[in-house]
Amino acid sequence: NAGVTQTPKFQVLKTGQSMTLQCAQDMNHEYMSWYRQDPGMGLRLIHYSVGAGITDQGEVPNGYNVSRSTTEDFPLRLLSAAPSQTSVYFCASSSSADTQYFGPGTRLTVL
């Protein structure tokens, strides 16, 4: 049981490049979320999903896209990276209970 896995662990992009952050969970959780963590600002919700085929925006969705074709996977796409998207990104999953399980994070730098 690997829990929540994220790839890559580190990534450097140039402004304007696109990329996908991968997230997978093997706990059969319905709910999955993406957060970004910036110094002094805690974690802020980007997008979330309450089940396969269902996604919705969080607090800071601009510049990011998501899709949820399977229960296990919830990729986050950056369409045109900007320096303001330099951050640490965390994926999380939860069942109908209220505890979220977080992945190890992806540290992204946009030059």
Residue from the set 4, 23, 76, 108 that interacts with another protein by CB under 8 A: 4
Footprint of another protein on 83-102 (CB under 8 A): 90, 92, 94, 96-102
How far is Cα 64 from Cα 34, in angstroms, rounded to an integer? 10
Instruction: Please provide the DSSP assignment of 35-77 as one string.
Output: EEE-TTS-EEEEEEEEETTEEEE-SS-TTEEE--SSSSB--EE
Quickly tell me which residue has 């296990």 as its tokens.
72
Footprint of another protein on 10-29 (CB under 8 A): none
Footprint of another protein on 39-58 (CB under 8 A): 40-45, 48-50, 58
CA 78 to chain centre: 10
Residue from the set 13, 32, 78, 110 that interacts with another protein by CB under 8 A: 32
Q: What residues make contact with another protein under the rule CB under 8 A?
A: 4, 31-33, 35, 40-45, 48-50, 58-59, 90, 92, 94, 96-105
